[in-house]
Amino acid sequence: MPSTGANVTWNPEALPELSGRVFAVTGGNAGIGYFITEQLAAAGAHVVLLGRSPQRLRTAVATLRTRLGAAELSTIPLDLADLDSVGKAAEELVRLGRVDALIENAGITAPGRVRRSTAQGFELAMGTNHLGHFALTALTMPVLTASAARVVPMGSLITRLRPFDLDDLQSTRSYSDFRSYAQSKHAVQSFGFELDRRLRDAGSPVRSIVAHPGLSLDQSSPDRRGITTRVPAFRLLAPIIQGKDHGAWPAVRAAADPAAATVTCFGPARISTGAPVPGTAPAASRDPRRASRLWTISEELTGIPFRIGEP
């Protein structure tokens, strides 16, 4: 995977000035998404938080204003497990007129011991993590194209541990919460790489850059009232885990580093921890033939044609 062209001196704790730029963060009210929002807003960006719970959105905004003061923040309701909600959120994003990056962070990590479904009948993890974001990206392409934006799908290290079974995409033949989550994150990454290929082939100014947060847990995250509470971590895990504030770094770099347009994936330097650097996803996620098939299936399932072109 290409690793040249990115700014090697990038400092995740000293971002460039981002005033005037607009970043939309799904799940920006909690976990890694909250810290993505905090870091971008602290650099002067207008950050749009998209989330399912109005109360949690309000809590996140209040916490951010307490820490940052006059941050530019706005919120949009979004339930990725309901394509009707996705459509309404996309309309609001398009009405903004400018979105410099759509950071697709939200997701469900533990869909449960029993297979559950979204509002449209998709397996919960696949429907939320991949199909919801696929639809959101397709429906916001006009504003993304007009803004020469970046799309940042959030992958996961779990894809290194489980294969990608496209023939059982929604875990109908074999289900476990671990397997369905891995399936969904393979799909997220596969979509992200395929999107970038298609954007480049079409001569679009939009870029898709996959990011993964490493092993980022609440145990090592800074306290944020109403968002995270730091608890002691097991000492044996300390070398391989990091806080969600650091887990935000790859997505922030993918969205905000001016020199990152030649890179297709960012992750922690030490695989599970560290500064954000260009990386490589598993071969299953990077397979163009598999990705093309996934794209077609995703269009058929969502009923949304994905058009790449002029705004």
List the catalytic residues. 181
**Separation between Cα atoms, residue 269 and residue 259, nearest integer Å:** 18
Residue 228, both tokens: 């995270």
Return d(Cα 149, Cα 163) in angstroms, integer. 31
What's the rounded Cα separation, in Å, for the pair 33 and 179? 23
Distance separating alpha carbons of residues 58 and 54, to the nearest angstrom = 6
Listed in order, strand segments (DSSP E) in 39-185 are: 46-51, 72-77, 101-104, 150-153
Would you say how long the chain is, in residues?
Answer: 311
**CB neighbours of 245 closer than 8 A, spacing ≥ 6?**
35, 38, 39, 221, 222
Return the amino acid letter for 162: R
- Region of residue 242 (left: phi > 0; alpha: psi -120 to 50; beta: else): beta
